[in-house]
Structure 1
Amino acid sequence: MALLWAAGGPAQAQDAAPNDPAAAARIAAEMLGEATHALDEADGAASRVKALTQTVRAFEAGLRAMRVGLRGAAIQEQAVAGDLASREEEIAQLLGVLSSIGATPGPVTLLHPAGPVGTARSGMILADVTPALNARAAQLRARLEELSALRALQQSAADTLAEGLASAQAARAALSQAIADRTDLPRRFTEDPVKTALLIASAESLDGFASGLSQIAVDETPGSLPGIEDRKGQLPLPVQGRILRRAGEADAAGITRPGIVMAAPPRAVVTTPAAATLRYHGPLLDYGNVAILEPQAGILLVFAGMDVVYGQIGQVLPGGSPVGLMAGVGRSGTDNDDEIVPSELLEAATEWTQTLYIEVRQDNTAVDPALWFKTDKDE
């Protein structure tokens, strides 16, 4: 059930938020409730790592949807408040008229200096004006009630978001522990740490490092995994996010790379698109934390820019296994990014604050990842 929410919930919340922030918040709350239920059931799952990975992704979707709802409520509140502020003079005049009418004794309002005829005419005028005054007062009352409801909605949604963030942190911690406790994965080779250190120190580029990866393997089992040739162009992207730059597109500094850059949410989990051998993980050059996967002989998948990396070099990871987490909005390596709704998320109208670099290397030559991954739409 959590997977269904993860797949469709954020889009539903995005559609609902502009017109009905309450509906978006309700959708998000249901998503977070499903994710919490999945977290409770993960302990009994046959594959705890898989169950927790799905749970973390369900929380990611729910938290994004809740931020969408909160952002919609904040925008609508600003619009209502701005409308009321622009009508201050009109509101003051209306309140003055209503107050004067309410404070005047009934018999006095029925008298007029011009006598009975003047009194009749003033009564007719008052009868015509009163409905309009009442309508304006009702409209004002409705706007004030809307403003109050939006503020209450934001507080309620913020409380739900805080609970969801705490549960998401618990799910990530449980996932990290489950990965550390996992002992059932096959291992194709062991790593020579000295050779790894020498390769890192001597590498001047990703090309050079990738070409020397075979040097760090000790007692490698011959052969290859079944491979991914039959899934070319259909591999799922490793993180829930959207394509920011495609292969060969220059960044703000004018630098081009042969891979793609994905924008992803804070603390998003990065997973293997297919079963693969973990050839390397750790810091590398200026790429940050890197994971290099080998789904078949001659093909390498490079994921760079994560805050946390999982697994042991030489392990064979099943498809959909977590290989790392993106950084948060706050300090790297902490969960201080979870400040309910960071101001930059509200102001920029986006929660995609982290970037993951994805490169595919075939026979030690970089190729366009779009040839292998399903990138025809934002993920």
Structure 2
Amino acid sequence: MTDKRKRGGTKGGKWAVCPFPGSAMASAVAIITCWAFAGSAVAQTAEIARRTAQQEKLEKAARAIGSDMTQLQQRLVTTAKQIRNQEQVATDHETQLETLRVEQHALTAGFDRRQGELSEMLGVLTRVSQRPPALLMVEPDGVRQQLRGTMLLGAMIRMLEQDAAELRAELAALDRLRTTIVSKQDALQKLLPELHAEKQRLTALLAEKDKQRAHLSASAKAEAQEIAQLAAQARDTRDLLSKLRERHSQFAALPMPQPKPQPQPLRLADGLPGAAAPVPEVKPTLAALHPPRISSRRFSESRGQILQPVIGRIAEFFGGKDGAGGTLHGIRIISRSNAEVVAPFDGKLAFAGRFGDYGELLILEVGDGYHILLSGMSHIYGETGQNVIAGEPIGRMGTEAGTADVKEAASQQKRNALYVEFRKDGEPFNPAPWIASRKIEVSG
């Protein structure tokens, strides 16, 4: 009997070790769950720390690129200044050459006229000299008249010869000067492409830096949002690690910011001049993500100091006829072929793109309700929302060369003339008194 109980006790001895088998299983499950949760939390914390460090790295890289871009921007201004100076010299030489050609034409016409007079006088002298001597003896006072006529003709011949010699000397001097100017112009034409190529390289590099900076800024912003999402999702440990793994493979290939939207056409009453031009709304760009450059001067205090946006001569003035029966609300500047257009003042490109018959249009916001409108370019460098500094290239004129001849210039104004308009609170005003002398350039 005792043995049976012992054997029975032996059969049920495993239950005697833990009289509550259910609680043991629950404890084991709880421990395993805690371990898993703890492991997930540790992994989550490490991932957040890694993401935070990567975000800081991106932001640091963005700041470095921003600094590089500022230096490149200054170099670009310096290069553009050199190009503009060369364009100014070339324009001056072309104007001088055209003036010399006009003078040469007038002198040549005068020389030809005097040469004709000399030929007539020589003909008269020849006829007189061929008169038979016998006739001089028959005619009354024939000898005296012949001598007087011969003396007068001789004096006229000497005078005409002296005039002809002076004309020949002047023509020779003009020809030498013309040759010198053409030589200088050829040298400038060889130099301009080199400077233009340098500016193009800087422009390309600046554009690449813009892309890098925009990409890094977008990546840093996306990373910050991701970290915020991770923190918000930290309570949901079951999905956290799987989501982190999924996104980790995509992090290096974060999408670039969407291309800038096409701006809506400006709605202006009776065309661009006149009514206020509402600036089209665009999504935040690089300029919106970073503080704009603050100008050291106010536009309202810069009368007579605004940079002329393109090298050339003003062909049409504010208040004149616009060629369509209306009044011109700005000025037109005839420029050289492919002349560089620069920002006249520090500001923000409120609009950059094509606009109706104006073609490529730039609207530069310069503060205090002032705007500068530029049109007539064949190509623009800037984009809406970009901050620019005075002297920075923002566009390029067409390939039709300007001319110093007024009649020819009139036919070219629509093809190769920059239209410049200044506005205050939407109302146009005369830009001419605000523009500095062409000889003045901003320092790089």
- Bin of the TM-score, shorter chain as denominator length: 0.5 to 0.7
In the superposition, the TM-score normalised over structure 2's length comes to 0.55
**Of 406, 409, 419, which aligns to 1:357?**
419
Unaligned runs of 5+ in 1: 1-44, 330-336
What percentage of residue pairs aligned between the two structures are identical?
Answer: 18
CA deviation map 1:81-139 (0-9, x unaligned): 222333454221344467799x99xxxx9999759x99899678756653442232222
Q: Which of 417, 428, 433 matches 1:368?
A: 428
Q: CA RMSD in A?
A: 4.6
The answer (yes or no) to whether the contact 2:348–2:364 under 8 Å persists in 1 is yes
Question: Quick one: distance in 2 between partners of 1:378 and 1:233?
Answer: 14
Q: Distance in 2 between matches of 1:134 and 1:145?
A: 16
Residues 140 and 100 of structure 1: CA distance in aligned 2, closer, same or farther (over 3 Å) = farther
Q: Is the 8 A contact 2:340 2:393 kept in 1?
A: yes
How many pairs are equivalent?
312
- Cα deviation digits, residues 8-41 of structure 1 (max 9, x gap): xxxxxxxxxxxxxxxxxxxxxxxxxxxxxxxxxx
The counterpart of 1:242, out of the listed 296, 314, 322, is 314
Alpha-carbon shift at residue 374 of structure 1 (Å): 0.7
Alpha-carbon distance in 2 for matches of 1:131, 1:87: 15
Change (3 A) 1:265 1:214: same
- One-letter amino acid matched to 1:355: A
Q: Bigger shift: 279-288 or 57-66?
A: 279-288
In the alignment, which residue of structure 2 is the partner of 1:283?
354
2: CA distance, partners of 1:264 / 1:372: 14
2:335 to 245, 260, 265: 265
Task: Report what 1:196 is aligned to.
Answer: 261
User: CA contact under 8 A between 1:361 and 1:367: conserved in structure 2?
Assistant: yes
Q: Read off the aligned partner of 2:112 and give its amino acid letter.
A: A
Structure 1's 171 and 280: CA in aligned 2 closer, same or farther, altered over 3 A? same
| 2:381–2:394 contact (8 Å) kept in structure 1 | yes
Deviation at 1:47, TM superposition (A): 4.5
Distance 1:255 1:375 in 2: 24
Cα distance per residue 1:161-180 (max 9 Å; x no partner): 23323322332232222222
1:275-330 alpha-carbon deviations (Å, 9 max, x no partner) = 2233443322222112233334865433222122123544332222111122232x
Quick one: which of 231, 242, 249 aligns to 2:301? 231
8 A Cα contact 2:342 2:395, kept in partner:
yes
Aligned to 1:80: 107
Tell me, yes or no, if the aligned pair for 2:342 and 2:394 is still in contact at 8 Å.
yes
More helix by percentage: 2
Distance in structure 2 (CA, Å) of the matches to 1:70 and 1:148: 15
Counting only pairs closer than 5 Å after superposition, residues 64-75 of structure 1 correspond to structure 2 as 64-75=91-102
The answer to whether the Cα contact below 8 Å between 1:279 and 1:313 also exists between their aligned partners in 2 is yes
Does 1:92 pair with 2:119?
yes
1:249 and 1:256 in contact (8 A); partners too: yes
Letter in 2 for 1:324: G
Q: Is the 8 A contact 2:95 2:404 kept in 1?
A: no
Q: Which runs of 5+ in 2 are unaligned?
A: 1-71, 219-255, 440-444
Tell me, yes or no, if structure 1 residue 169 matches structure 2 residue 193.
yes
Distance 1:181 1:139, change over 3 A: same
Per the TM alignment, residue 147 of structure 1 is displaced from its structure 2 partner at its CA by 3.2
Q: Is the 8 A contact 2:331 2:431 kept in 1?
A: no
1:212 partnered with 2:280: yes
Distance 2:125 2:168 in 1: 17
Conserved 8 A contact 1:242-1:378: no
Structure possessing the higher radius of gyration over alpha carbons: 2
Q: Which sits farther off after the overlay, 126-135 or 319-328?
A: 126-135
Name the structure 2 match of 1:34.
Answer: none
